[in-house]
A and B are shown apart, each in its own frame.
Chain A
């Protein structure tokens, strides 16, 4: 990568991070406020409605997004967490793309390998 394109790469990675973080934190805050508005308390317990689990993270995320119109406060908070995790995932993908467009073969392969490792970790359990 040239010095200029490397600066662009870093700027894009930074924007993915800050954008994803801002959206996920906003959704989580909305969820917390909606929960307070609905229940009048900030207390929670360890019942299944507060649990976030599944065998395939992407399947869980799609299911959550498809039901977002009828979202409960806990679903909104869960969506914020999903977006946060996807931000970290998207950052690696952005890095792959920019090393690819920068024609840096070594780092395209390295970042692609990390991306594939994370994809497998999120899918296979």
Chain B
């Protein structure tokens, strides 16, 4: 296996991961497996690269004030617990069943987002008491729309349940589960797409750290894979994190939908081919 090849492949995937909030792991794993890397090694290394994507894009978007740190920390409770449980259960789960389950999991995100395709910003909704107590609201300057955007989030408990499922899938499949996280944040919390993508990247780093610790202990983490992947995705994510605020939310959704479509096909293929 060639370290330089892995590094060059990882950079555009890091860029895409940062732009869509997917984390990049879902894209990297099938690419590495196609190159002949054993799947468990690919998953373990992908967990490390997800941390790089999250740190790279998170650094830019947190500073720009797009990420909602409070919402991110609140939701991380659920994703980290889910990831630890999922990674612990991973040794007992059937991989083909998981591929099918995840394809279905992604389809929900796809269909849900398609319904909101024409919506640049989510429509206002009355904030519930818990969301108010948790101070789940925010504001950011949208460069593409050239205006300040203020938003209030709602239904934090339901979103927490969704995030627990996302964390579980992340731990089981060795991915960031960003597609599902983004979907939960946009549909349940009513978070604007840009805030959702960047907050998802912020959370994914913590989820991936929990998952990576399990793969580290399992002996599946190989330096020759993880190091170049981390470098490539970090560079890609830094560029992606700085690009995101120049694009409209609709553009981000288009990129997201194309990527999710590819992932659904890939997961179904994996499930059928075994």
Contacts and interface: CB of A to CB of B under 8 A. Distances in A.
A28 B227 contact: yes
B228 interface: yes
A14 interface: yes
A84 B62 contact: no
B80 A14 contact: no
B59 A31 contact: no
Nearest to B61: A14
Contacts of B59: 14, 17-18, 21
A46 B84 CA distance: 26
A67 to B, nearest CB: 15
A24 to B, nearest CB: 7
Nearest to B63: A14
Given A14-B59, A31-B227, A80-B227, A85 B209 contact: yes
A110 B77 contact: yes
B136 to A, nearest CB: 11
14 contacts: A21-B56, A24-B52, A25-B52, A25-B235, A43-B3, A46-B38, A46-B41, A53-B217, A81-B48, A85-B212, A88-B51, A107-B70, A110-B73, A117-B210
Interface of A: 7, 9-11, 13-14, 17-18, 20-21, 24-25, 28-29, 31-32, 35, 42-46, 50-55, 57, 60, 74, 77-78, 80-81, 84-85, 87-89, 91-92, 95, 104, 106-107, 110-111, 113-114, 117-118, 121-122, 125
